[in-house]
Amino acid sequence: MDSLIIVTLALFSLTAPAYGDKGTSKARSCSDIRQFYSGKGFSRDGVPQSEISGEHLRICPQGYTCCTSDMEDSLALLSRKEMEGLLKDAGRSVQTSLSKQYKAFDGYFQELLNRSDISLQETFPSTFGPIYSQNSQVFSDLYAELRRYYRGYKVNLEEVLNDFWAKLLEKLFYQANKQHFIGEDYLECVSKQIETLRPFGDTPRVMNMMVTHTFVAARSFVQGLMVSGEVVRKVSQVQLSQECMRSMMRMTYCPHCRGMASARPCANYCSNVMKGCLANQADLNTEWRHLAETMMGVADRFGGPTGVDSGVLSLPNRISEAMLTMINNIETINNKLFQACGTLREGGTSNTEISDFMKKGKVTVEDTLESSSSKIDKLVSDTKARLRELQSYWISLPDVLCSDRIATGTGAEEKCWNGMNRARYLPEVIGSGLASQINNPEVEIDITKPDIVIRQQIMQLKIMTHRLKNALNGQDVDFQDTSDDVSGSGSGTCSDSTCSRNINPVSPSNIPPLHNPYPPENKKVKGAANQDLPSITVYLLLLLTLLLRR
């Protein structure tokens, strides 16, 4: 009989419910969660006064609880909303950073263009006199088209440069032969001789190559910054799945339902939840890194004697050299053109501009403004440093989002929340990316159905990287018309008001502690505390029956 009493007492000690962290002989009060729940904006109506049996729960462990089904549903939706908010905040921080780099480079490059344009406008009138003033539209058109090309409009850079030299040849020929009657057909013939005649020497070839390399690289670089920001914006708005919501709930708010409000998630447990929720986002990593690396390669071309400073600021001097070459050889050029296009008949006005200019001798036109090579070097250094920091953004997000909410300190691994109770979390941390989630014990994911929006953004990264690689070789690329995005913020960057919430992506602030919802429906959380208590109860009941039969 004594043995019967002992077994009975043991049975009741094992089957008695454990309340909260310590376990008591009576139901624990739910006053704390009532206050917590109302603090989240929900009504206290329906919140139990004390713990109730948890068979109704579909996400949290079904022990004694202070949460009803409605509370569980509300907190699950809240956990997803909060996590999506954190992802958007982290994305805005990256957009802000990319926008800052965009504006810095864009402002610098446009400053170079303005300096170059102003230098030409200020020096050419005194250098070339009426030869320039009567044909200034040719030069202003060139700079206007270069600006349009840089801004992303559908402008064929090669055609722009070829048209400039052809028009310049026509204008200078006309200025040199104003005493003759020159019709449009004759001028058209003149412009067609530019390849064989080479009136400007080798300058057009050198300048065209320099301009192409400079402007293709500059435009592709700012496009890369804009596309990167746009990818971040779109991916940050992707809604988290139902499975992720349940897992987030289990990690975030189930401890409150169990009376363990102070429990924080185990580090590896949080990592598995976040890697499951952000599996599709992690698949951006490869192409994102490729784009960042290629952009850094393009940025390296901006400094030095053949960088953007030289490519833009030397334009007036290159054009001046070309004009001087033609003017100094005008008699030889005229004779060749007369042979190719026919002689001209008298009937024009007097011509003194060319002869007067030739008496002055050679004049060199240079950019007289302060050199800014140190500025571009710093700009390149800052941009590359930021791109390096962002290279691992997509695969570092799980660690970033877990960093402020996991259990830390002495003994944390033994007392952290593992999805079922306060105990060690046993499963290993799984890898990043969708393919790795087949073994994720926390989030149920169909790895055969990748997110379409994210796959589209991966393709955008590939396309942009290809364009940048072409730019490294000086090859022009067919960009989409971005005329709607030429304000400086771009569709992929954010305005000052939008980006004012500059949350550090490495350590998001003001984030409520995360704890995770439940494990996938067909998977078990493999924490040490996840034991099947009912099976023990059945075993002891059988033992008790055998003893009673004795």
CA atoms of 144 and 139, how far apart (whole Å): 9
Residue ranges of E strands in 233-352: none
Q: What is the DSSP letter of 442?
A: S
Check pLDDT > 80 for residue 541: no
Residue 547 has pLDDT above 60, yes or no: no
Q: Both tokens of residue 386?
A: 């930021």
**Of the candidate ranges 108-117, 134-143, 268-277, 478-487, the one whose mean pLDDT is the lowest:** 478-487
Mean pLDDT of 491-505: 43
Tell me the pLDDT tens digit for each residue of 13-36: 333 344 444 444 467 899 999 999
Q: What is the pLDDT of residues 505-533, one digit of tens each?
A: 333 333 233 233 323 333 333 333 333 34
Round to whole Å and give the CA distance between 508 and 320: 55
What's the pLDDT score for residue 348?
A: 56
pLDDT tens, residue by residue, 445-469: 999 999 999 999 999 999 999 999 9
Dist CA 364 CA 403 (whole Å) = 61
- Model's pTM, two decimal places? 0.77
The answer, yes or no, to whether residue 156 has pLDDT greater than 80, is yes
The DSSP bridge partners found for residue 50 are 29
What is the phi/psi pair of residue 180, to 5°? Answer: -105, 160
Q: What is the mean pLDDT of residues 173-192?
A: 87
Query: CB burial class (10 A; 0-12, 13-18, 19+) of residue 332?
Result: exposed
Residue bearing the bigger pLDDT, 77 or 187: 77
> What residues contact 150, with CB distance under 8 A and at least 6 apart?
109, 110, 113, 215, 218, 219, 222
pLDDT digits (tens, 9 = 90+) for 276-294: 999 999 999 999 999 999 9
First to last CA, the chain: 10
Nearest to 455 by CA among 278, 281, 277: 281
Residue 536, pLDDT score: 43
Interior angle at CA 477, CA 475 and CA 478, nearest 5? 160
pLDDT for the residue 357: 60
Mean pLDDT along residues 461-482: 79
Looking at residue 306, what is its pLDDT? 77
The residue ranking higher by pLDDT, 1 or 467, is 467
**Residue-wise burial string across 208-234, b where 16 or more C-beta atoms lie within 10 A, e elsewhere:** bebbbbbbbbbbbbbbbbbbbbbbbbb
Q: Give the phi and the psi of residue 65 in degrees, each rounded to 5.
A: -150, 160
What whole-number distance in Å separates Cα of residue 389 and Cα of residue 347?
Answer: 70
Q: What is the pLDDT of residue 409?
A: 81
- Averaged pLDDT, 316-331: 94
Cβ partners under 8 Å of residue 473, min gap 6:
none
Position 122 scores a pLDDT of 94
pLDDT of residue 468: 95
Kindly indicate the confidence band of residue 346, based on its pLDDT and cuts at 50, 70 and 90: confident
Per the model's pLDDT, the better-predicted residue between 362 and 482 turns out to be 362
3-state secondary structure 231-260: HHHHHHCCCCCHHHHHHHHHHHCHHHHCCC
pLDDT of residue 42: 94
Q: What pLDDT is recorded for position 303? A: 83
Q: Note the helical H segments in 152-266.
A: 157-176, 184-192, 194-197, 203-236, 242-252, 254-257
Using pLDDT thresholds of 50, 70 and 90, give the confidence band for residue 11.
very low
pLDDT of amino acid 26: 63
Q: What would the mean pLDDT of 243-250 be, rounded to a whole number? A: 96
Q: How far apart are CA 515 and CA 82, in angstroms?
A: 12
Burial status of residue 70 (CB atoms within 10 A of its CB: 0-12, 13-18, 19 or more): middle
**Mean pLDDT (whole number) for 368-385:** 77
